[in-house]
Amino acid sequence: MDISREPCKEDILTAAKRIFTYVNRTPVFTCSTIDNLAGANIFFKCENFQKAGAFKSRGAVNAVLSIDPNDIKHGVATHSSGNHAAALARAALLRNIPAYIVMPEDSSKVKIAAVKSYGGRITFCTPTLAAREEKLNEVLTETHAFEIHPYNNYAIIAGQATAALELIEDQPSLDTIIAPVGGGGLLSGTALAAHYFLPSAKVIAAEPEGADDAYKSFYQSKLIPSINPDTIADGLRTSLGSLTYPIIKRLVSDIITVDDKATIDTMKLVWERMKIIIEPSSAVALAIVLQNQQRFKGQKIGIIISGGNVDLMQLPWK
């Protein structure tokens, strides 16, 4: 794909074909108890069952497989504390190139172990955005690797769009599709997929109150970065990017925020009733439905469960 412009319909379909054999077509689950609680019909696209435990594998595989092999012959690199790091390391393995991952030194052991398990080469840095970017620049200079940003990259966005594409294929009559928003890779991809393949559906974003940069940016119509985000939803602490924001501003209907208590309660509800492990960042999407029942009543709602990578020794309801 031409990664210098916003993904078109064909780019998303091509991404789906490209990544097909390297990622899981994840199932769509339903739960009658949660439907009764919500007063709506909810279809959960289970990206917690995705390779490396999150939707990030879609974008990472699409990026690594769609970029000119010459450009990435020295490897790929990124800074990430989370799921993108593991997904990129795994994707690099498919092309047998190194993945250089800059990780903040306070990253969870589980995430570090995941990156290592896929052969990722980790450089640790102090946990600030400035230190991460500085260290990544050093790594890029040293290795001549190609940077793959976690979300501000059109190949990544086209890859993430395939989750909603599959959900729409499985459930073609959804009224609303909800995705969580951090940097906006999943959300912008979801919005593009709905725009091209189910334009009648509204796309709504769910965001933690303690990291509401997307909400502010959306309603103040300018990019407002996240400063000192404070939320249990570790995947959603990042700020929108220059490529994701315009897509979101144009194609998303609304952004709704929710507090961490509701997120934790919702996460526990899903574990108890659906018997699936979802991370806090995923619970945010269902939480906005349960917190705004009148608004969603009677609708057919698709929810992207973004991932299932949780440190089982550090559960939030302990």
The site for a second copy (CB under 8 A) is made up of 27, 29, 48-49, 53, 110, 268, 271-272, 274-278, 308, 312-313, 315, 317-318
First CA to last CA across the chain, in angstroms? 46
Judged by CB, which is closer to a second copy: 51, or 149?
Answer: 51
Judged by CB, which is closer to a second copy: 67, or 274?
Answer: 274
At 262, which helix (H) or strand (E)? helix 260-274
Give least dist CB 51 to a second copy, A: 9
Give least dist CB 55 to a second copy, A: 13
40, 91 in Cβ contact below 8 A?
Answer: no
Q: Render 159-182 in DSSP notation, one character per residue.
A: HHHHHHHHHHHH-TT-SEEEEE-S
Give least dist CB 9 to a second copy, A: 31
Give least dist CB 281 to a second copy, A: 14
Q: Side chain identity at 118, as an amino acid letter?
A: Y
Alpha helices in 171-237 (DSSP H): 185-197, 213-220
Distance, CA of 67 to CA of 96 (rounded, Å): 14
Judged by CB, which is closer to a second copy: 108, or 137?
Answer: 108
Distance, CA of 83 to CA of 53 (rounded, Å): 8
Judged by CB, which is closer to a second copy: 42, or 277?
Answer: 277
Judged by CB, which is closer to a second copy: 50, or 231?
Answer: 50
Only one residue has tokens 């933690």, namely 208
263, 211 in Cβ contact below 8 A?
Answer: no
Distance, CA of 19 to CA of 276 (rounded, Å): 25
Give least dist CB 206 to a second copy, A: 20
Q: How far is CA 79 from CA 104, 118, 138, 159, 315, in A?
A: 8, 16, 12, 19, 25
Give least dist CB 310 to a second copy, A: 8
Judged by CB, which is closer to a second copy: 130, or 312?
Answer: 312
Strands 76-79 vs 146-147: parallel, antiparallel or unpaired: parallel
